[in-house]
């Protein structure tokens, strides 16, 4: 079959790597792709939020299945347009993608579905929000819309929270403000591949969102991940399926939304059990990079079954051991990443490792940086420590001017030996 993959980040390189291994795939097309994906797919430089252009591409290349990586095309209605034109798509319609695009909508769904989440209050009046925040004390302040990781402030006092209300209110995404109870506990990501009604869970994984070691510095898209994060037990994972994914899909369906794609729950494992911090309508980045290395089954039939609303798979075979992914970032990331620096990458990679491209582009015979998160250095090992050491060695072997990465990815992982 002919596959079209939308996106050009590390997540999409990892997906391309995995999809390409399927005997079902005769051709793989990627838009726009990246210099890493080029080795696996035919890359087409097209604006992936332009629904008409994507439909035309899918028609011209007789595409059998479209896999959408990032949220932008989903929010822009590319899934809707493709489905209307008769294509099978892994990725929800715009109505489903709102679960990521609007935190207020996500909370409304969670409340209606009885999904465990932090207590919250919604405000459209900034001053009312600031006044309430002052009274609340330590509280989380969130802007409603997509804010590229800059829309959340965990305030330790009422004064700080009130100030955050005013600051976030000035963002385009801050027309609606949420105040939320501060939760504590380790964070992890659980993703479900959904067919509108049924779902199958990927292994739990853990991202590292702050830019510097020891979880310091500003939030980023994610600086590294590992999987499986099995401090979440099998029973707890099953509970997340039952108490989070199933009721959320049912509530969306009740509203006429058949969610066919990846539903990502950002969770906090509180002393009272797992609580949802956020939903995304896509796979996580960099979580996908390590999840693809752990997955021990052909992904293509699963994504196709989701796209068709015919998912019968109830579990996905996993490799034993662990995978760790370290994001190599450009100087200045996340605030103002510098681009155009030439990458120095060893000619061959050590065994058990994979290097996924994200913010890179070709410039003549060289590859230069073109974004904040440039590469994900990934490795598999029989233990988490072995996977960490291999990923760190790979990360260290790649340089460019000003590149930086965290040295503590998966180092603070809670004990992995829980039953
Ligand atoms: P979000 O975009 O909603 O996932 O929030 C970004 C980050 O803010 C999360 O990864 C958490 O570290 C933190 N956060 C969000 N909500 C809460 C909460 N209710 N309590 C504590 N920390 C939170
Ligand atoms: N790594 C977090 C995300 O993909 O949203």
Q: Using pLDDT thresholds of 50, 70 and 90, give the confidence band for residue 418.
A: very low
Domain boundaries 184-308, corresponding CATH code: 3.30.470.20
CATH class of the 2-94 domain in this structure: alpha beta
* Torsion angles phi and psi, residue 215, rounded to 5: 55, 45
Q: Whose CA is nearest to atom 6 of ligand 1?
A: 152
Name the helix (H) or strand (E) containing 49.
none
Candidates 286, 266, 293, 419; CA nearest to 354 is 293
- The per-residue pLDDT of the chain, averaged, comes to 95
Tell me how far the alpha carbon of residue 140 lies from the centroid of ligand 1, in angstroms.
Answer: 7
- Under CATH, what is the fold of the domain 121-180? Dna Ligase; domain 1 (3.30.1490)
Q: What is the pLDDT of residues 371-415, one digit of tens each?
A: 999 999 999 999 999 999 999 999 999 999 999 999 999 998 776
**48 φ/ψ sector (left φ>0, alpha ψ -120 to 50, else beta):** alpha
Q: Whose CA is nearest to atom 3 of ligand 2?
A: 284
Which residues line the pocket of ligand 2, CB cutoff 6 A?
207, 221-222, 280, 284-285, 287
For 104-150, give the DSSP string.
HHHHHHHHHHT--B--EEEESSHHHHHHHHHHH-SEEEEESS--TT-
Tell me how far the alpha carbon of residue 319 lies from the centroid of ligand 2, in angstroms.
Answer: 23
Q: Using pLDDT thresholds of 50, 70 and 90, give the confidence band for residue 417.
A: very low
Q: What is this structure's pTM?
A: 0.96
Question: Hey, where are the domains in the chain?
Answer: 2-94, 121-180, 184-308, 322-417
CATH 3.90.600.10 fits 322-417, yes or no: yes
Task: Return the best residue to mutate from 154, 176, 270 for the ligand 1 pocket (most ligand atoms within 8 A of CB).
Answer: 154
Tell me how far the alpha carbon of residue 191 lies from the centroid of ligand 1, in angstroms.
Answer: 17
- Please report which ligand is nearest the Cα atom of 9: 2
For residues 23 and 126, which has the higher predicted lDDT (pLDDT)?
23
Q: What is the pLDDT of residues 128-143, one digit of tens each?
A: 999 999 999 899 999 8
């Amino acid at each position: 079959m002919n596959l079209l993959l939308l996106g050009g980040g590390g997540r999409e390189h990892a997906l391309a790597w995995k999809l390409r291994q399927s005997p079902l795939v005769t051709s793989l097309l990627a838009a726009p792709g990246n210099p890493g994906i080029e080795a696996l797919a035919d890359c087409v430089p097209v604006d992936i939020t332009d629904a008409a252009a994507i439909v035309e591409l899918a028609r011209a290349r007789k595409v059998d299945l479209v896999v959408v990586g990032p949220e932008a095309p989903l929010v822009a209605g590319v899934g809707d347009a493709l489905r209307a034109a008769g294509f099978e798509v892994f990725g929800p319609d715009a109505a489903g993608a709102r679960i990521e695009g609007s935190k207020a909508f996500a909370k409304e769904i969670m409340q209606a579905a009885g999904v465990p989440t932090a207590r919250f209050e919604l405000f459209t009046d900034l001053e009312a929000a600031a006044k309430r925040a002052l009274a609340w004390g330590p509280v989380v302040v969130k802007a409603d819309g997509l804010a590229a990781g800059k829309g959340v402030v965990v305030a330790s006092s009422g004064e700080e929270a009130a100030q955050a209300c005013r600051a976030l209110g000035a963002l385009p995404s801050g027309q609606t403000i949420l105040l939320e109870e501060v939760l504590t506990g380790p964070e992890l990501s659980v993703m479900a591949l959904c067919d509108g009604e049924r779902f199958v869970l990927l292994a739990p994984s853990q991202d590292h969102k702050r830019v510097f070691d020891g979880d310091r510095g500003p939030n980023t898209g994610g600086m590294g991940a590992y999987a499986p994060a099995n401090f979440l037990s099998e029973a707890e994972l099953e509970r997340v399926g039952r108490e989070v994914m199933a009721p959320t899909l049912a509530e969306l369906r009740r509203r006429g939304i058949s969610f066919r794609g990846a539903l990502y729950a950002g969770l906090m494992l509180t002393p009272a059990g797992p609580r949802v911090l956020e939903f995304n309508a896509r796979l996580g980045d960099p979580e996908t990079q390590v999840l693809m290395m752990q997955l021990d089954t052909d992904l293509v039939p699963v994504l196709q079954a989701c796209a068709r609303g015919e998912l019968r798979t109830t579990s996905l075979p996993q490799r034993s051991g662990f995978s760790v992914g370290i994001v190599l970032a450009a100087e200045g990331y996340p605030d103002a990443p510098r681009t155009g620096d030439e990458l120095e990458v060893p000619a061959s990679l050590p065994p058990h490792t994979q290097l996924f491209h994200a913010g890179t582009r070709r410039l003549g015979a060289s590859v230069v940086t073109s974004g904040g998160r440039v590469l994900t250095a990934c490795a598999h090992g029989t233990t988490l420590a072995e996977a960490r050491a291999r990923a760190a060695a790979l990360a260290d072997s790649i340089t460019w001017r000003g590149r930086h990465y965290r040295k503590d990815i998966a180092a603070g992982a809670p004990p992995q030996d829980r039953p």
